[in-house]
């Protein structure tokens, strides 16, 4: 998915500070959408004061909504997109030639590297009501030594399941409770979709920081009640996490080694400097209107099937204007 904000702010993400165990609740915020599409999108990363959890640098929840998701071609650099549908199917097309449908239980990983472009559309049934769309879109920052690599895409249709003390989990990326995801990642990281319905003890990597986003139900952590909405930040230094969950509770667990590089995020780009991001934007705008073969050789390549012959799907998402000011770095701050 694209960052749908009409006027995205630059997010300067300083390196993480060692924190130790904690529980902080970081509120979700509604993302103002451009255009006429009315999809409910809530963002819980990045936050002022909490730019990353491990290399996870972006977390959007969308739906459930009966709406025809249609995200035209748009660019990315310096990140991996991690797409995890919870309801509804999404057709993904990209500039490395992918054209696939991703369904609930399946994972799309797109590595932008130096530059990629892609589109995402709801798969609509023949006639009848619009399907319910619900899902998660996350970004993982690529470390400096990997961020200029060639773009790539992979889909995983059968992810490993882990079971443990009071829980079951699907391991999306990294390893959790002894199960290892086949997804290609470039930093020490974990992402899991966890189900539990009572007391449970989750094994954690103490060198990682972790966060929890409740999807359904609710659970008690360190005496706090976590519900759908805010992101619960757990800090580092936990080798396990005891929770008490309502029946039918489902949550996203993300974590990773605290990311030690300063990031500059703007629109769909994860870079390091203002000038680099400005160049990334200029390169996308320079591709507008290029003939197909020239676009295919340009930085962000060509997402086939969106040419003038594509009717309602023709087009691309133009980059918003760059802010006129260079922002100063934000510091990770403890939540009061
Ligand atoms: Mn995208």
Q: What is the DSSP letter of 280?
A: H
Distance 22 CA to ligand 1 centre (A): 32
Query: Which of 56, 85, 110 is closest to 300 using CA atoms?
Result: 110
Distance 247 CA to ligand 1 centre (A): 34
Residue 314: the pLDDT is 80
Residue 336: the pLDDT is 36
Distance 23 CA to ligand 1 centre (A): 30
CB atoms within 10 A of CB 215: 17
Distance 94 CA to ligand 1 centre (A): 10
Residue 200: the pLDDT is 98
In a domain, 182, yes or no: yes
Distance 82 CA to ligand 1 centre (A): 10
Distance 103 CA to ligand 1 centre (A): 17
In a domain, 6, yes or no: no
Query: Which of 29, 33, 53, 32 is closest to 42 using CA atoms?
Result: 29
Distance 309 CA to ligand 1 centre (A): 23
Distance 117 CA to ligand 1 centre (A): 7
146-164 core/surface letters (b: 16 or more CB in 10 A; e: else): ebeeebbbebbeebbebeb
Which residue range forms the structural domain that includes residue 179? 11-256
Residue 16: the pLDDT is 52
In a domain, 318, yes or no: no
Contacts of 232 (CB under 8 A, 6+ apart): 23, 24, 25, 26, 211, 212, 213, 214, 221, 224, 226
Contacts of 285 (CB under 8 A, 6+ apart): 318, 319
Distance 4 CA to ligand 1 centre (A): 9
Q: Which two tokens stand for residue 92?
A: 């993904």
Distance 213 CA to ligand 1 centre (A): 21
CB atoms within 10 A of CB 230: 17
In a domain, 74, yes or no: yes
Angstrom distance (rounded) from CA 138 to CA 49: 18
Distance 76 CA to ligand 1 centre (A): 7
Distance 301 CA to ligand 1 centre (A): 14
CATH number assigned to the domain comprising residue 128:
2.60.120.10
Distance 119 CA to ligand 1 centre (A): 7
Query: Which of 297, 319, 296, 298 is closest to 306 using CA atoms?
Result: 296
Distance 217 CA to ligand 1 centre (A): 29
In a domain, 58, yes or no: yes
Residue 326: the pLDDT is 79
Residue 319: the pLDDT is 95
| Residues 14 and 216 sit within 8 Å (Cβ to Cβ) | no
Number of domains in the chain: 1
Distance 131 CA to ligand 1 centre (A): 21
In a domain, 274, yes or no: no
Distance 79 CA to ligand 1 centre (A): 10
Q: What are the backbone angles phi and psi of residue 302, rounded to the nearest 5°?
A: -125, 130
In a domain, 161, yes or no: yes
Residue 332: the pLDDT is 57
Distance 36 CA to ligand 1 centre (A): 18
In a domain, 336, yes or no: no
Q: What are the backbone angles phi and psi of residue 179, rounded to the nearest 5°?
A: -105, 140
Q: What is the mean pLDDT of each run of 10 residues along the chain (336 residues)?
A: 61 58 94 67 93 96 89 96 97 97 98 97 86 95 98 98 98 98 98 98 98 98 95 96 98 96 94 94 94 94 86 86 72 48
């Amino acid at each position: 998915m694209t960052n749908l904000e009409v006027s995205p702010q630059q997010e300067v993400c300083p390196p993480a500070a060692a924190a130790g165990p904690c529980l902080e609740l970081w509120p979700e915020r509604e993302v103002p959408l451009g255009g006429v599409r009315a999809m409910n999108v809530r963002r819980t990363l990045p936050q002022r004061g909490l730019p990353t959890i491990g290399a996870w640098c972006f977390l959007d929840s969308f739906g459930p909504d009966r709406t025809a998701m249609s995200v035209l071609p748009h660019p990315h650099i310096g990140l991996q997109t991690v797409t995890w549908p919870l309801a509804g199917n999404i057709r993904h097309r990209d500039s490395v030639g992918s054209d696939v449908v991703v369904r609930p239980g399946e994972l799309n990983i797109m590595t932008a590297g130096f530059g990629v472009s892609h589109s995402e559309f709801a798969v609509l049934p023949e006639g009848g009501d619009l399907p319910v769309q619900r899902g998660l879109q996350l970004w993982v920052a690529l470390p400096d030594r990997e961020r200029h690599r060639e773009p790539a895409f992979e889909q995983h249709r059968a992810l490993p399941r882990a079971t443990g003390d009071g829980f079951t989990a699907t391991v999306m990326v990294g390893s959790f409770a002894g199960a290892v995801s086949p997804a290609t990642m470039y930093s020490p990281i974990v992402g899991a979709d966890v189900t539990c319905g009572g007391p449970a003890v989750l094994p954690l990597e103490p060198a990682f920081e972790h966060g929890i986003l409740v999807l359904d139900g609710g659970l008690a952590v360190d005496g706090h009640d976590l519900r759908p909405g805010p992101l619960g930040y757990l800090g580092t230094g936990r080798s396990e996490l005891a929770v008490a969950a309502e029946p039918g509770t489902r949550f996203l667990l993300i974590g990773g080694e605290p990311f030690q590089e300063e990031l500059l995020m703007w629109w769909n780009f994860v870079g390091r400097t203002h000038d680099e991001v400005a160049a990334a934007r200029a390169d996308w705008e320079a591709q507008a209107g290029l003939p197909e073969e020239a676009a295919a050789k340009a930085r962000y390549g060509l997402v086939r099937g969106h040419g003038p012959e594509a009717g309602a799907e023709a087009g691309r998402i133009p980059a918003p204007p760059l802010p006129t000011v260079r922002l100063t770095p934000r510091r990770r701050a403890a939540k009061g």
